[in-house]
Amino acid sequence: MIQFELLEEDRQLFERALEFAERQVRTLTEIHPDYYPLYTQQGKWRHQGEAWTHWCDGFLPGMMWIFCKRAPAGSDKGKFWFDLAVRYTKPLEPRKFDRTVHDLGFIFLSSYYRWYRLTREPQLNDVIIQAGRTLAERYQEKGQYLSSFIAPNSLFIDIMMNVGIIFYAARETGDARLREIALRHSLTTRRYLVRGDGSTAHEGIFDLETGEFLRQSTHQGYRSDSCWSRGQSWALYGFTSVYEYTRDPRFLRTAEACADYYITQAPPDGVPPWDFNAPPSQRQLVDTSAAAIAAAGLLRLCRLLPDPVKGHFYWVTAIRILRTLCQKYLAIDDPSWEGILKGGVYHYPKGLGVNESVMWGEYFFVEALDQALRVI
Ligand code: GLY
């Protein structure tokens, strides 16, 4: 049994960061009630910037559910976060039928699933199951993958973070077809988007007539053959959670390969450039959201490994990443900044949310801090 330990100074650092995160989320809901932001512009959440795709609405209530769970049982604080989380979660329900995005895992696992875990009300579970069924409708039989929102011939690495909701729906309902779809999608992604060195491509393009894989591509990365940092973190975390659902050792090996690539290619402080292969002139531009997601993924992966030494290494790495985020990127000393974590990048080629706070970065940062603090 591996012993994971947190130094007292890290505990204090992480608790202070979580208290700051609570204050920022509360203030956001006071300044812009019932608004679901995506990324900041010069530190401000509300602006007219393009969304590109509509995938983030679960993350704000997701943080509220984490704050609610952390509050002492029966406390006013717990009730405050519960009521606010319900208020921000309920409006998402109609999206269980949303066939325009591949992000139903992001939307419902962060919100309805956390709500269901707290209360076990069956109607909440029905919402999650329906979302899983809807996502499964994106399945392309010939290529054996779930298509991205871009087009039926497009597969994204990000979908590895969403396919878990189909595994979940399959487990809850006993629907073997759903499980088969989720499994096939994960194996196809593993085969075509994960490279031999453990790096990943953002997108795969298929021939719709034959189902044949044609080439790797990208939207948010530097080049088709580069490794977009956030995609790498989605793969690390996504293959870890698929291993949790399936216990199929192929997915554990892939999660490890993705983690090892991330760790060996990132700078010593654990926060990578926005693309691992960005040219020298862009290498100072980091993506803190990629780092937060990697930390959250490593904190799950470290417990699943048969080798305790490697598991301990992943734990220590995740803590180092969180320490860097808290010490270098927290917006705590900038009263004009509305986000929690500075230095995120949404879509560099389109110039959206570059060096800003991004809602998924906030969410996975809070999730990772909560996980690290729950250890002992
Ligand atoms: N579309 C998912 C992402 O920006 O990572």
Q: pLDDT below 70 — which residues of the chain?
A: 1-3, 376
| Non-local CB neighbours of 49 within 8 Å, separated by 6+ positions | 38, 39, 41, 352, 353
Q: How far apart are CA 123 and CA 10, in angstroms?
A: 39
Count of domains in the chain?
1
The string of pLDDT tens digits covering residues 67-84 is: 999 999 999 999 999 999
Distance 41 CA to ligand 1 centre (A): 17
2 lies in some domain: no
Per-residue pLDDT, 376: 56
Distance 218 CA to ligand 1 centre (A): 12
Quick one: which atom of ligand 1 is closest to the CA of 220? 4
Query: By the 8 A CB rule, do 276 and 199 touch?
Result: yes
Distance 278 CA to ligand 1 centre (A): 18
3 lies in some domain: no
Per-residue pLDDT, 320: 98
Ligand 1 site, residue 323, Cβ cutoff 6 A = no
Q: How far apart are CA 288 and CA 279, in angstroms?
A: 18
Kindly report the number of other CB atoms within 10 A of residue 67's CB atom.
Answer: 24
Q: How far apart are CA 230 and CA 241, in angstroms?
A: 16
Query: By the 8 A CB rule, do 339 and 357 touch?
Result: yes
Query: What CATH number should be reported for the domain holding residue 42?
Result: 1.50.10.10
Query: By the 8 A CB rule, do 107 and 58 touch?
Result: yes
Per-residue pLDDT, 210: 98
Q: Give just the sign of the alpha carbon dihedral 336, 338, 341, 344.
A: negative
Q: How far apart are CA 163 and CA 102, in angstroms?
A: 9
Distance 18 CA to ligand 1 centre (A): 24
Which amino acid, residue 342?
Answer: K
Ligand 1 site, residue 230, Cβ cutoff 6 A = yes
Quick one: which atom of ligand 1 is closest to the CA of 230? 5
| In 247-347, alpha helices (H) | 249-265, 288-301, 308-324
- Ligand 1, atom 4, lies closest to the CA of 346
Query: By the 8 A CB rule, do 269 and 223 touch?
Result: no
Q: How far apart are CA 340 and CA 310, in angstroms?
A: 31
Distance 65 CA to ligand 1 centre (A): 22
Distance 25 CA to ligand 1 centre (A): 21
Ligand 1 site, residue 167, Cβ cutoff 6 A = no
Q: What is the 3-state secondary structure (H, E, C) of 182-243?
A: HHHHHHHHHHHHECCCCCECCEEEECCCCCCEEEEECCCCCCCCCCEHHHHHHHHHHHHHHH
Q: Which two tokens stand for residue 143?
A: 């290529």
Ligand 1 site, residue 55, Cβ cutoff 6 A = yes
Q: How far apart are CA 83 and CA 68, in angstroms?
A: 9
Ligand 1 site, residue 158, Cβ cutoff 6 A = yes
Query: By the 8 A CB rule, do 126 and 113 touch?
Result: no
The SS3 of residue 278 is coil
152 lies in some domain: yes
Per-residue pLDDT, 2: 64
Q: Which two tokens stand for residue 88?
A: 């921000």
Residue 15 sits in which domain range? 8-373
Element spanning 206, H or E: strand 203-206
Ligand 1 site, residue 65, Cβ cutoff 6 A = no
SS3 content of the chain, % helix, strand, coil (to 5): 55, 10, 35
Per-residue pLDDT, 375: 75
pTM listed for this prediction: 0.98
Ligand 1 site, residue 103, Cβ cutoff 6 A = no
1 lies in some domain: no
Q: Which two tokens stand for residue 25?
A: 């989320």
Burial 74-85 (b: 16+ CB within 10 A, else e): eeeebebbbebb
Q: How far apart are CA 303 and CA 271, in angstroms?
A: 22
